[in-house]
A = this chain, B = another copy of it.
Amino acid sequence: MQHYPEAMNRLIRSLCRLPGIGEKSAERLAMYLLQAPDAEVSMLAKNISELKKQVNICSCCFSLSDEDKCRICRDPSRDAGLVCVVESPADMAAIEKSGGFNGVYHILQGLLSPMDGIGPADIRIAELVKKAAGENIREIIVATATNIEGEATATYIMNQLSPGHVKVTRIASGVPMGGELKYVDQVTLKKALEARYDV
């Protein structure tokens, strides 16, 4: 990196800190920015520096929001009695893109992970339990990941909510759509066989 001017090296070092950006990519990005139109470069810098100031956490579902409550929590056409519990806003965005859900969300902002010192008090479980006690909630779908932390978190949540009046469900596991069986891993196939349904 000592072959570039100092301002270039500083930018390359900053870019290297981003996830998935190595030194080669950072060099390429810096070189691109050096040649890009001024307006595009200053717009990028402005959008980066204003991001945190303008993004809030929704007071209701803990997702990202422009205002106190997010677009989905404000939307009267969404079914507020059906709550989908996910780890992060990115998971919420993935479900929204699927178009298969018209309820509201509850973002845990993490998963239980005793190895990393993340316990129930560190994620939004107490808020979920309180929300589930509300009269208008009919069903809570636990849609955490199907890895170890996700399953552990789902089990914990289901135990916490079990004596309540609310129906608690877990998102289905199985063969991904468009997937060939020979490429699906054994654990998923076993799950898919156990969860077989009548046609």
Residues of A within 8 A of B (CB): 3-8, 10-11, 14-15, 17-21, 25, 27-34, 36, 38, 40-56, 64-66, 70, 88-90, 92-93, 96-97
Contacts and interface: CB of A to CB of B under 8 A. Distances in A.
A49 B55 contact: no
Contacts of A70: 5
Given A3-B93, A18-B29, A48-B48, 17 more contacts: A3-B96, A5-B64, A6-B54, A7-B54, A8-B55, A14-B43, A14-B48, A17-B40, A19-B29, A28-B90, A31-B90, A33-B48, A33-B51, A34-B51, A38-B52, A41-B48, A45-B45
A20 B18 CA distance: 14
Given A7-B66, A29-B19, A34 B48 contact: no
14 contacts: A3-B92, A3-B93, A7-B50, A11-B47, A11-B48, A14-B47, A17-B36, A27-B90, A31-B90, A41-B51, A41-B52, A45-B48, A46-B49, A48-B48
B51 A97 contact: no
Contact of A8 (B11, B28, B34, B51): B51
Contacts of A5: 54-56, 64-66, 70
Identify the interface centre among A29, A38, A48, A52: most chain B CB within 10 Å of its CB: A48
Contacts of A34: 51-52, 55, 64
